[in-house]
Structure 1
Amino acid sequence: MEQKVREIQENAMNAINSAEGLEKLNDVRVSFLGKKGSLTAVLKSMKTVSPEDRPKVGKWVNSAREVIEAQMEEKKRKLDAERLNRQLAAEEIDVTLPAKMKFIGHRHPNTIALEEVERIFIGMGYEVIEGPEIEYDDYNFTKLNIPANHPAKDEQDTFYINKEILLRTQTSPVQARVMEKGKLPIRMISPGRVFRSDEVDATHSPSFHQIEGLVIDKNVTLADLKGTLDVFAKELFGPDTKTKFRPHHFP
C-alpha cells in the first residue's frame, strides 16, 4: 500500500509540473484529490486494510496529500505570475505615443468669421496687418485728418486713458502706421477689435470688430475696389451673391 501511495504522489507531482494552465492544474487536482481521485480512492479502500495497518496507511495518504497540495499551490502561484506578466505585456502603454487631445469649448463665431475674411483677402494677394488696441490720439485721429473739434473725439464717444492715449475707435490707425513706413505698393487689410462709448443694444456695443482695407499703387481705380468687393462677397456668401454699390458719407 505504501508503494501505491508513493506512485500516486509521484504521478501527481509529474502531472502538476507539466500542467500548462490553471484549468489543467485544476484537472490534476480533481484527478488525484477529488471525490473520485486516485488518492481519495486509497482512503475509501481503508475498509479492506487490517485495523492495525490503517493508521500507517492514513499517515501515508495524508503526507502525500500535503505534498501534492503544497506543490499545486506553488504551481498555481507560478501560473498566476505568468498570466499577470502576459497581461501586463499585452496592456503595456507606450508613453511615447501622442496623448489624446482634449477639446475644451468651441471657437468663437467672431474668430471663425475673421479667419474666413482673412483667408479670402490673402487669396487675392492682400497682407493681414494688426495694430495696437491701446493707441495714441495722434494715430487714431490727427494722422487721419480728423480735426480736434470733431464729435468723434468727445469723451462721450471715445474711451480715453489720458489726453494722449485711448482705446482705438477704429482700425484705421494701422493704415497710418503702414503708410508712415513709406514702403509701396500697399495692399493690406487690418482686422481687429475696436472700442466706442456706446450703449449696448441690438446694433451697438462698446467693443466690436472691424476690418479695413487699403490699396496704394499705380493705375488703381474705383473699378478695382468694386471688383475686389464683388469677389469677396461671392467668396463669403456664395457665387450667386449680387452686389450693389451706393455712395455714403460718414462725417
Structure 2
Amino acid sequence: MFKIFRNTILGVTLLSGSIISHAEETELSMSGNIGFMSDYMYRGIHQSSSSAMGGLDLEYGGFYLGTWFADLQEDGWVEGSHRGFEYDVYAGFGFDVSESISASIGYTIYRYTDKGAAAFDDDYDEVNLGLGFTASENLSFAIDYAVGENTAVDQSETDYDVLTISADYLGVYLLVGQWGVQEDDASKNEVDASWWEVGYSRSVGDFDLSAGFVLSEKELASGSDTAEDGDFSRFIFSMGTSF
C-alpha cells in the first residue's frame, strides 16, 4: 500500500501507525507499488511539489516489513534545501481484536539522502500505534498515534507525537490530526498544531486514484508556503498501482 494511502492526505486504510487486518494468513507475501503525487503532503506539512514514489512490502502471519521512497524537489520543507530522496523503513504487527476491531503496533524510521546545512530534513524515529473499527461494509474509523524523536545534523533532539482520527465512507474520507512538539531540554519550547483533510479515493482498473483538500495551521507552514502568517491549504491529487 502506498504511504500516501496510510497516513497522509489520501486514505484511511493505513499502514505505518495504522490498521491492517491480517486474519490468520501465515504465508509470506510480497507486494510493490509505484505512483505519483501532485504535491507531497505529510501530516499537514508540505514536503515537496510533484513527487514520484514507490515501495516494497513483506507480510507474514500478521507481521509486516516494508520500505518506501519519494523524490524531493527544491521547493519543499526547507526553502532552498537540496533536492534528493526520502526513504522510510517500517516494521510491525497487526491483528484482529474482533470481527469489527483491529489493532497494530510498529516502528518507522524516516531518512533523507542529503545531509548537511542545506539538507531537506533530519532523521526521524517513531513508534506507531493504531486502532480501527469497521462499523459497516461501507463505514470505518481509525485512530492512530505516533510518538517519536527527531535528531538534527548537530545531534540536537526534538520529541514529538502525532494523533490522527479518521473516518471513511464509500471512499469519502475525513481526517483530523494534531501535532505536539517538545524541543530539547535546553529550550523547553513546545508547539501544538492541527490539520484537517477531506477527500475521495477509489480504484479504477489497476490504478488507485485520490484527490483531497488539506487545511493546516500556520505552525505547520514550510519554507515554500506563502501564507506563513496564517493557516494555509492545498488541493492534492495522486495516482498509483500495486503489483
**TM-score past 0.5 threshold:** no
Q: Which has the higher contact order (CA 8 A, sep 6+)?
A: 2
Q: Which structure has the highest strand share of the two?
A: 2
Q: Which structure has the highest helix share of the two?
A: 1
Of structures 1 and 2, the larger Rg is shown by: 1
